Amino acid sequence: MPKRSSKPRDLNAMAAAIVDQATSDEPVPDPDEGKNPAAVALGRLGGQKGGKARAAKLTPKQRSEISRRAAQARWGRQDDRATGRDQPH
């Protein structure tokens, strides 16, 4: 998980930090620095084929059920929408 930025909350201090960062001669740090290159490549490979591989192994019935649950979670029950009651998010 990426670390949160350490920018100050004060607007003027934050502006000064942004200007300092933009005009600095320091190179941008490599996000993969200190990591095992083989592990990075393997993780990237899995990420590239993840969704396509999952979709290929699901049956049409499984895909339909996943879609139904996603729509239910996103839009709520049709009864509640018809009555105008708000769903808690």
Distance CA 65, CA 71 (A): 10
**pTM score > 0.85 for this model?**
no
Beta carbons within 8 Å of 40's beta carbon, 6+ residues apart: 32
Where exactly are the structural domains of the chain? 59-89
pLDDT digits (tens, 9 = 90+) for 21-33: 888 888 777 777 8
DSSP line for the chain: -PPPP---SSHHHHHHHHHHHHH--SPPPPTTTTS-HHHHHHHHHHHHHHHHHHHHHS-HHHHHHHHHHHHHHHH--HHHHHHTPPPP-
pLDDT digits (tens, 9 = 90+) for 34-85: 888 888 888 877 777 888 888 899 999 999 999 999 999 999 865 555 555 5
Amino acid at residue number 70:
A
